Amino acid sequence: MKKTIAVYIRVSTTGQNEAGQRAAISEWLTAHGHDLTTATWYVDKHTATTIARPELDRLQAAIFTGLHVTVVTWRLDRLSRTQRDGINLLANWCDAGVRVVSITQQLDLSGATGRLIAGVLFAVAEMELETMKERQRAGIEAAKERGIYQGRKLGTTKAKPARAKKLRDKGLTQHEIAAALGVSRTTVNRYLRESM
């Protein structure tokens, strides 16, 4: 079995576009003498607060069957925004002999020093996420005090509930439906209950 390079891209929602990450990684691969046609691309449209993502699961399975020797990503926070999950993920990959490269941070995490730096960067990513949530909560509270925030209007949804039912009827799992719609599995459960 020929070992290949894996590319991992993640955007937070289905409305975001991965083109910027794809272009930057393609440029890096070409500049480092890698053939773009032999790289395997894994693209998730899902939050990084959980590592239960379809393409990340597929990548991990490929790593542990020995298919990939290198994983290239745009930034480490594409892999995880929590320190514990990020460090565990990298430790498992490094133990399997996989080199991990973060192109925008110019990091090659193949050794102990790289893992130490990665731990710090995952902590920073987690802190950034918490700060963003705190700002959002503070903004909502301020808007409520001024009487201009009423929350999401009743009946509005992030995706079309009928689409969840159609995807279930096609045989997709709730996890797959959630990824396809860019919503949580809890939301998928609610959509499916409402469509009954």
How many C-beta atoms surround the C-beta of residue 23 within 10 A?
11
- Asked if pLDDT for residue 180 goes beyond 90, the answer is no
Residue that terminates a domain, selected from 72, 95, 122: 122
Report the pLDDT value the prediction gives residue 188, as an integer from 0 to 100.
79
Instruction: Dump pLDDT digits (tens) for 29-68.
Output: 999 999 888 899 999 987 766 778 899 999 999 998 999 9
Q: Give the structural domain span for 92.
A: 4-122
Number of helices (H), then strands (E), belonging to the chain: the values are 7, 5
The CATH number of whichever domain residue 15 belongs to comes to: 3.40.50.1390
Residue 86, Cβ density class (10 Å: 0-12 exposed, 13-18 middle, ≥19 buried): buried
Residue 132 lies in a domain: no
The residue with greater pLDDT, 4 or 112, is 4
175 alpha-carbon distance from chain centroid:
14
pLDDT value for 113 = 58
Q: Is 4:69 a contact under the CB 8 Å cutoff?
A: yes
Question: Is residue 99 domain-shared with residue 180, that is, in the same domain?
Answer: no
32 part of a folded domain? yes
Q: Give the Cβ contact number of residue 95 at 10 Å.
A: 8
Q: Strand, coil or helix: what is 69?
A: strand
**Residue 157: what pLDDT?**
59
In a domain, 166, yes or no: yes
**pLDDT, tens digit, for every residue of 5-32?**
999 999 876 567 788 899 999 999 999 9
Residue 85: is its pLDDT beyond 90? Answer: no
Task: Judge whether 117 lies within some domain.
Answer: yes
Summarize pLDDT for 140-176 with one digit per residue, the tens.
778 778 878 766 665 555 567 777 888 788 887 777 7
Least confident of 88-92, 112-116, 123-127: 112-116
Query: Residues 17, 106: one domain?
Result: yes
In this prediction, residue 9 carries a pLDDT of 93
3 Cβ contact list (under 8 Å, min separation 6):
66, 67, 68, 69
**Per the structure, how many domains does the chain have?**
2
Q: Which residue has the tokens 């910027």?
A: 20
| Residue 110 within a domain | yes
Beta strands in 50-168 (DSSP E): 68-73, 99-102, 107-108
Domain boundary among 122, 151, 186: 122
**Is 18 a member of any domain?**
yes
Q: Are residues 113 and 20 in the same domain?
A: yes
The listed range with the strongest mean pLDDT (57-66, 72-81, 89-98, 162-171) is 57-66
Q: What is the mean pLDDT of residues 100-123?
A: 72
Residue 138 has pLDDT above 90, yes or no: no
Q: Which residues pair with 77 in a beta bridge?
A: none
What integer pLDDT is reported at residue 111 of this predicted model?
60
**What pLDDT is stored for residue 8 in this prediction?**
94
